[in-house]
Amino acid sequence: MADQLLSTVTHHGSLPETYVRPESQRPRLNEVLRDADVPTIDLGSPDLSQTVAQVADACSTYGFFQVVNHGVPIELILKMMAVASEFFRLPSEEKAKLYSDDPAKKMRLSTSFNIRKEKFRNWRDYLRLHCYPLEEFVPGWPSNPSSFKEVVSGYCSEVRQLGFRLLGLISIGLGLKEDYMATVLGEQEQHMAVNYYPKCPSPELTYGLQAHTDPNALTLLLQDPDVAGLQVRKDGKWIAVNPQPNAFVVNIGDQLQALSNGRYRSVWHRAVVNVDKERISVASFLCPCNSAIISPPEKLVADGSPAMYRSYTYDEYYKKFWSRNLDDEHCLQLFRS
């Protein structure tokens, strides 16, 4: 029910019980590394082989990187953030109409992660949209704010182009043809999560989004330029991804880990919340076509490394992902060969 939404409440007193994690599962914010960060890659560089090498290195060591000079117009980025923030400030009645906790819905406003399954709540509301093909989905998107459809559809097309460019760099870095991943992944779906993390009375006790890996192929995240919150797991420690204005944070999802036969890593990440600042992020997910067969390229198994995962369809994987808890073991473990 819509009264579950956090963004309909203007002031939160103390943190409700359902959000309080047991001692052993809390974020331990004072142990987070603040100065380590993930690599930043300049996509405006004319040196293609250097860019390919930087992407390959980031994908195999961090599974995460930021990109600048990425070609998505800055004006569109600013408009996207502005319309997202305006959306979550709409009156409660307006938001209530869009509420659903059914993960199968192609447009819904929801809260936490999957309240039908989870034991503890996350301090987050999110608007989830299917975005490809646009003609099919845009008519069903929110028409309030009035610029929503126009801004978000323009943003989605640009981000999709950037995603394909990155898939090209990733393919080349694996010694494959530039269009290899795009071809295997088929007619890719594109989903968006507009995440809203309100100010939280006790950030030490809960998460905006608990640790998870992304089940799709590639994720491009726009984060609030002024408020940190995303953290990435590396060598047993949590690293803060410091926001850079107008940059995208890119991460490898489970399907690229499988398709690279484990060379590229879909790593655990999480979002934490702040006492005095709300935070918005916009995640765009490139998702294999449901019938895409996920199986590593011959080239990556021929060199003596056996296939790490059995082949499966994305449809099979995605169903498995949503039937579990977010912080169970890595979902790919269930597909080991």
Q: Give the interface with ligand OGA as residue ranges (CB under 6 A).
A: 193, 195, 209, 214, 221, 223, 229-230, 269, 271, 281, 283
**Segment 199 to 238, residues that bind Ni ion, using CB under 5 A:** 214
Q: Token digits for 296?
A: 């590593």
- How near is the Cβ of 242 to ligand OGA at its closest, in Å? 12
Cβ proximity to ligand OGA: between 229 and 288 the closer is 229
| DSSP for 60-118, written as a single string | HHTSEEEEES-SS-HHHHHHHHHHHHHHHTS-HHHHHTTB---TT-SEEEEESS-TTT-
| DSSP for 188-255, written as a single string | -EEEEEEEEE---S-TTS--SEEEE--SSSEEEEEE-SS---EEEEETTEEEE----TT-EEEEE-HH
For residues 185 and 236, is the Cβ–Cβ distance under 8 A?
Answer: no
- How near is the Cβ of 144 to Ni ion at its closest, in Å? 27
Name the binder of 229 from Ni ion, ligand OGA, none, CB < 5-8 A by kind: ligand OGA
Cβ proximity to ligand OGA: between 227 and 301 the closer is 227
**Torsion (CA) 3, 137, 194, 105 in degrees, nearest 10:** 40
Name the binder of 195 from Ni ion, ligand OGA, none, CB < 5-8 A by kind: ligand OGA
Tokens 């559809």 belong to 153
Cβ proximity to ligand OGA: between 180 and 197 the closer is 197
Cβ proximity to Ni ion: between 90 and 209 the closer is 209
Does 254 engage in binding with Ni ion (CB under 5 A)? no
- How near is the Cβ of 231 to Ni ion at its closest, in Å? 11
Q: Indicate the helix (H) or strand (E) that contains 275.
A: none
Name the binder of 281 from Ni ion, ligand OGA, none, CB < 5-8 A by kind: ligand OGA
- How near is the Cβ of 113 to ligand OGA at its closest, in Å? 9
List interacting residues with Ni ion (CB under 5 A). Answer: 214
